[in-house]
Amino acid sequence: MMKLLVAVLAAAACWAQAETIDVPAGQTRKIEPGRRFTGDVLVKTGAGELDLTGAALANAGLEIREGSVRLKGGGSCTVTTRFVQFKVSKTRPGKKGPPEYADSGSQFSEFRLYLGGKPVPFPEGARAITGPVGSREGPDKGIDGKEDARLSLSDAYALNRGILTLGQKRSIVEEYRRRRKTTGAFAEWFTIDPPYEPTFGSHETGTYVNGAISPFTAGELAKGAFGCGYESYGWDILQRFMKMVEKDGAVYFLYNPKGGNSTTAYLGPSAWGAAALLSAVDEGLAGIVNTGFGYDEIAFSPRWPVTPYRELRYVTGYENVGRYVDCRYVQTGEGFRYHLRSPAKKVSAHLLVPTGKTPKALLVNGVKTPFALSTVGESRYVDVAATPRNGTVGTVDFEVLY
C-alpha cells in the first residue's frame, strides 16, 4: 500500500460545510473504503494521525484510489482539493516475468490549504512526499531514485495558481533555467524531467507525458517568470517560441525533445499550448489582468521594458461583449508612459522600471502622485492605484520620470 504524507505547517480555520474528524494525540484513526463525506472539505483536528484509505473515497472533488493519504500534525488543519488522483501503477515493467517494483507508482495533483475559508500558499518548507511503502526502493527514493530531482509540467502550472510563495516560485524558475543549460533537449519545457526509463506505462522516454517538450509548459513557465522577477527569462521563452511558430506555421501539441518537430499530435489539441502562450503574453508581458467583471477592475503590470520595443500599442479584451483594454506605451531617455483605455473604474498599477533607472516622479493623469517602489527579485516596480480621469471615463495616463 502506498502512502502520501502531507506535512502542513500552519493552522487553518474550519469551513462552513466541513466535516470534522478529531484524532487525539498518540492515536491513529483509519477511514475505511467506501466512506463518503458530504462537506466541502475534510477537517482533521487533534495531534493524532489520520489515514484515508480505500478504492473510492469522495469529498467534493477528492478522490483516492488504491492508496492512502495521511495528514499529520498538531493543532487544526484543513485540507481540500480541486482534484486528486492517487492510484497504483506498474510504471517499471521487468524485462522478463512480472513487473519490477510492482504497485510502486502514483499520480498526485494539487492539494490546497485553506485559512479562514480562503486559499493560501503553503508555508515555506512544506513538502508533499510520495513513495512506495514496503518496496525494494524506500519512500525516499520512489520508483527509480530520481523523484527528488524531477520537474513536471505541474511545477510550471503551480507558478500561476496562487499556492506558492515568491521564494518557491523563484526556486522553480531557477531550476528550469539551470536545466536549460544542461539538458540534451532543444528546450527546457518538459512534460517531465528526468523521464522514466525505458517507459512510463506505454510511453517511451521523450514522448507524451514522459519527457516530450510542451507549449503549455512553456506558456505557464513564461507567465510565472514574468510574475516573480525573471521578466527577461519570460520574454526569452516567448521569443524562442515565436521563432518556432514562424518556422512551423503552427503551434503543435507536443514536440520531440531532440529535433523539435511535432510528435504525438493526435494525443491532444494544439490550442491547449497556444492558450497558455497567449495568456503569458496577455497577463504576463502586457500585464493586463481582469480582477473584477468585464474589466471593471484591472491589475496592470506591464513588462515591456524587457523587450526591444520603445513604442507600441497592445489591445486585448472580450470581443463578444465589446469590452476592450487598449494600451499605448512609450519609453524615452527621460522616462516611460502608459496610456490606458478600458472599462475599469479602478486600476492597480505595478509598473516595471527599466534596469539601471531610478524613478523620481510619477504623474497620473498629468498630476504628480505619490507612489510606492517595490522589489520582486532584482526587479523594481512603481506601484499605485488610480481611477479614470474625470470626463473621460476609462482613460488613465501613467508617466514615470527618472
Q: What is the DSSP string of 236-292?
A: HHHHHHHHHHHHHSS--S-B-TTT--B-SGGGS-HHHHHHHHHHIIIIIIS-EEE-S
pLDDT value, residue 19: 66
**90 closest CA partner among 2, 21, 182:** 2
pLDDT value, residue 391: 53
pLDDT value, residue 51: 63
Q: In whole angstroms, how far apart are CA 249 and each of 219, 242, 243, 265, 365? A: 18, 10, 10, 15, 42
**111 closest CA partner among 12, 188, 22, 225:** 12
- Cβ–Cβ under 8 Å, residues 142 and 132: yes
Q: CATH 2.60.420.10 spans which residues of the chain?
A: 286-401
**99 closest CA partner among 107, 90, 108:** 90
**188 closest CA partner among 218, 147, 209:** 218
CA-based R_g, the chain, Å: 24
pLDDT value, residue 371: 98
pLDDT value, residue 116: 55
- Domain 286-401 sits in CATH 3.90.550.10: no
**What does the DSSP 8-state code read for residue 221?**
H
Do the strands 62-63 and 58-59 form a parallel or antiparallel pair, or are they unpaired? antiparallel
Q: In whole angstroms, how far apart are CA 69 and each of 36, 47, 49, 280, 397? A: 15, 16, 10, 34, 52
pLDDT value, residue 115: 54
0.75 exceeded by pTM? no
Give one DSSP letter per residue of 308-348, joined into a string.
S-SEEEEEEEEGGGTEEEEEEEEE-SSEEEEEEESS-SEEE
Q: What is the pLDDT along the chain (402 residues), one digit of tens a residue?
A: 222 223 222 222 333 355 677 778 778 776 654 555 555 556 667 767 766 543 324 333 344 333 334 444 444 444 443 333 333 333 344 444 444 444 333 333 334 555 555 665 544 444 433 333 333 333 444 567 788 889 999 999 999 999 999 999 999 999 999 999 999 999 999 999 999 888 887 888 999 899 999 999 999 999 999 999 999 999 999 999 999 999 999 899 999 998 777 765 556 788 999 999 999 999 999 999 999 999 999 999 999 999 999 999 999 999 998 999 999 999 999 999 999 999 999 999 999 999 999 999 999 999 999 999 999 999 999 999 998 876 556 899 999 999
